[in-house]
C-alpha cells in the first residue's frame, strides 16, 4: 500500500491520472463554486482546484469533489482507492474488502511529532478569523456558508479515555463562530454530552485537508470504543503523525492544510441549516445546535480547503458513507460467522439501500437452514450496527450478481425481490434526512425498515439458471466467441 501523507501528494496523484483541473479564473464562492462542483459530479469531470476565489486573500485555494467518482477511464473509484493506499484501478469489492479486513488488524496508534507544515502560520485571538478563507454558499437554499463538508472534527471525552475523529456539517455564523449538527447516535454527540454533563464547553479541533485517508475513515461508522487514529495506522501499516494544538489539549495531523481550534458550547442556541443533502434534496427544516467558538487557526502556506457539495448521487456522501457502511457491515457479518462474500451500498440509491451477497455454498455451510432463516440472521447482525439509521432497505442476494454493476443489480432486484412476501419489517431509529419517509416519521426519527429475502431457492425447489453470456454458455464457447470478437 502507498500512504499519501497529505492533500498535495494526493492531488499530484490525481494530476498524473488526468483527474485534476486547475481553474485560474476568478470564481465566486457564492453559489458559483458549488455549481461547478455539482456539475463535476454529474458529468464525472476532473476534480477542480480553484486558485482565484472572489473575496479571499491571494493564495487561499479551494479543492472540490475530493472523493467523487473519477474521470480516469476504467478507474471510477480512483479517488477513494488512492486515499486509502490502493492502486487507482481498485474496484468496489477490493475497496470494501480492504476496509473490512483492516477492522481485524491490531491498531497502530498515532505518534506525536514536534511540528509540521500545518504550523507554518499560527493565528490567535482576533487574527483567527474565517473572513480570510473562502467559505462558500454551496446550494441555493442553504442556511448559510458551510465551513465544513469534508473536514474532520477532533474531540475527546473529559476523562481523556476516548478520542473521536468524525465528519459532520458545520455552518458559518460569523467570522468567529460556527454551528453544526451534533446528532444522537453519533460519537461526537456521545463525547459532547459528557462535557455537557460536567457543565464545560467541549474543546474541538476542525482539520481541513489532512492525509486523504482521514476523511474516509472519519466518515466510517466504527464501533463504539474504536478510535479512528489507531484504525488508520492498522489500515496503512504505519502511524499517522500528529502535532499538538495551540489552545486546546488535542492533537491533529501534522500535514493538514488548516486547523481551527476552540470550544463547543453546552447549549443548543444556534439555528443550523437547511443544507442540500445526500438524499438529493434541499430540505426546509432547521435544527437548534451548539455553537463552535474559534480561538486559533493554524495553516500551511497557500492553504487548500477541500469541499464537497452533497446532492443527487454520486458525491462524497455516497462514495465514502456507502463504502464505509458496506465494509462495517461485512466485518460484522463475518465476525458473526455468517457465509457472506461482500456487502454493497449502491451509490445511485443515495445510501438508502444495502445489499449483502451470500456465498454460493452457503447451504453446505449451514445445512438445514432456509433462505428466510439466513436472511433473519443477516438482518439481526446488520440492524445492530450504528450505520443502519441511514439504511431503510436491506436486500440479501446470491453472489452471482455483481452488485456494483447498476444494470445487473437493477435486474436482480426487479426479478428476485417479491412485491409483498419474503420480507422482514422492523421499526428502528432513522436519520431524519432520509427522503423516503413521511414528515411525521422524520420528526420522530423512527420508522419501519425492511429486509428482503431475495435468495434463490435450492436447485431441487425450482431454481432457474441465468440466461446470460457469462452463465448460460460453456466456457469453451465463451472463449471462442471472445477470441473471434473483433472479426
Mean per-residue pLDDT pooled into runs of 10, the chain (487 residues)? 91 98 97 97 97 92 98 97 97 96 96 98 96 94 96 98 97 98 92 98 97 96 93 96 98 98 98 94 91 98 97 95 95 97 96 96 96 98 94 96 95 96 96 92 95 88 83 94 93
Domain extent listing, the chain? 7-307, 336-471
Position 1 scores a pLDDT of: 61
SS (H, E, C) the chain: CCCCCCHHHHHHHHHHHCCEEEECCCECCECHHHHHHHHHHHHCCCEEEECCECCCCCCCEEEECCCCCCCCCCCCCHHHHHHCCCCCCCCHHHHHHHHHHHCCCCCCCCEECCCCHHHCEEEEHHHCCHHHCCCCECCCCCCCCEEECCCEEEEECCCCCCEEEECCCEEEEECCEEEECCCCCCHHHHHHHHHHHCCCCEEEEEEECCCCHHHHHHCCCCCCCCCHHHHHHHHHCCCCEEEECCCCCCEEECCCCEEEEEEECCCCCEEECCCCCCCCCCCCCCEEECEEEEEEEEECCCCEEEECCCCCCCCHHHHHHHHHHHHHHHHHHHHCCCCEEEEECCHHHCCCEEEEEECCCHHHHCCCCCHHHHHHHHHHHHCCCHHHHHCCEEEEEECCCCCCCHHHHHHHHHHHCCCCCCEEEEEEECCCCCCCCCHHHHHHCEEEEEEEECCCCCHHHCCCCCCCHHHHCCHHHHHHHHHCCCC
User: What CATH class does 336-471 carry?
Assistant: alpha beta
Position 2 scores a pLDDT of: 81
Position 460 scores a pLDDT of: 67
Q: Which CATH architecture has domain 7-307?
A: Roll (2.30)
Active site residues: 277
Position 116 scores a pLDDT of: 97
Amino acid at each position: 500500500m502507498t500512504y499519501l501523507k497529505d492533500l498535495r501528494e494526493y492531488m499530484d496523484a490525481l494530476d498524473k491520472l488526468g483527474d485534476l483541473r486547475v481553474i485560474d479564473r476568478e470564481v465566486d464562492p457564492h453559489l458559483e463554486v458549488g455549481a461547478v462542483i455539482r456539475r463535476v459530479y454529474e458529468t464525472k469531470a476532473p476534480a477542480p482546484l480553484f486558485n482565484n476565489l472572489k473575496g479571499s486573500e491571494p493564495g487561499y485555494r479551494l479543492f472540490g469533489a475530493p472523493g467523487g467518482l473519477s474521470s480516469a477511464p476504467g478507474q471510477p473509484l480512483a479517488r477513494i482507492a488512492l486515499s486509502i493506499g490502493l492502486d487507482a484501478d481498485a474496484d468496489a469489492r477490493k475497496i470494501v474488502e480492504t476496509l473490512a479486513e483492516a477492522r481485524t488488524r491490531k491498531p497502530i496508534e498515532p505518534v506525536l511529532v514536534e511540528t509540521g507544515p500545518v504550523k507554518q502560520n499560527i493565528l490567535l485571538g482576533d487574527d483567527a478569523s474565517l473572513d480570510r478563507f473562502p467559505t462558500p454558499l454551496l446550494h441555493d437554499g442553504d442556511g448559510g456558508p458551510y465551513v465544513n463538508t469534508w473536514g474532520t472534527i477532533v474531540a475527546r471525552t473529559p476523562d481523556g479515555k476516548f478520542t473521536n475523529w468524525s465528519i459532520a456539517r458545520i455552518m458559518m455564523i460569523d467570522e468567529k463562530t460556527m454551528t453544526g449538527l451534533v446528532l444522537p447516535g453519533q460519537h461526537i454527540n456521545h463525547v459532547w454530552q459528557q462535557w455537557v454533563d460536567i457543565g464545560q464547553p467541549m474543546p474541538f479541533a476542525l482539520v481541513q485537508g489532512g492525509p486523504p485517508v482521514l476523511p474516509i475513515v472519519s466518515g466510517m461508522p466504527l464501533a463504539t470504543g474504536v478510535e479512528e487514529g489507531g484504525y488508520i495506522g492498522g489500515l496503512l501499516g504505519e502511524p499517522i503523525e500528529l502535532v499538538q494544538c495551540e489552545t486546546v489539549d488535542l492533537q491533529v495531523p501534522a500535514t493538514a492544510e488548516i486547523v481551527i481550534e476552540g470550544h463547543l458550547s453546552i447549549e443548543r442556541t444556534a439555528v443550523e441549516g437547511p443544507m442540500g443533502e445526500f438524499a438529493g434534496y434541499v430540505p426546509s427544516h432547521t435544527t437548534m445546535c451548539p455553537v463552535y467558538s474559534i480561538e486559533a487557526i493554524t495553516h500551511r502556506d497557500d492553504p487548500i480547503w477541500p469541499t464537497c457539495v452533497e446532492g443527487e448521487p454520486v458525491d462524497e456522501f455516497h462514495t465514502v458513507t456507502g463504502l464505509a457502511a458496506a465494509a462495517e457491515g461485512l466485518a460484522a457479518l463475518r465476525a458473526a460467522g455468517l457465509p457472506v462474500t461482500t456487502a454493497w451500498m449502491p451509490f445511485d440509491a443515495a445510501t438508502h439501500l444495502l445489499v449483502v451477497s451470500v456465498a454460493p455454498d452457503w447451504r453446505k455451510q449451514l445445512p438445514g437452514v432456509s433462505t428466510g432463516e439466513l436472511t433473519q440472521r443477516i438482518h439481526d447482525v446488520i440492524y445492530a450496527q450504528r450505520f443502519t439509521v441511514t439504511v431503510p432497505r436491506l436486500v440479501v442476494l446470491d453472489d452471482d450478481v455483481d452488485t456494483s454493476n447498476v444494470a445487473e443489480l437493477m435486474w436482480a432486484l426487479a426479478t428476485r425481490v417479491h412485491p409483498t412476501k419474503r420480507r422482514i419489517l422492523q421499526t428502528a431509529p432513522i436519520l431524519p434526512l432520509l427522503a423516503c419517509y413521511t414528515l411525521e416519521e422524520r420528526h420522530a426519527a423512527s420508522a419501519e425498515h425492511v429486509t428482503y429475502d431475495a435468495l434463490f431457492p435450492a436447485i431441487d425447489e425450482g431454481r432457474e439458471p441465468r440466461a446470460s453470456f457469462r452463465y448460460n454458455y460453456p466456457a469453451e464457447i465463451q472463449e471462442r466467441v471472445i477470441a473471434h470478437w473483433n472479426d
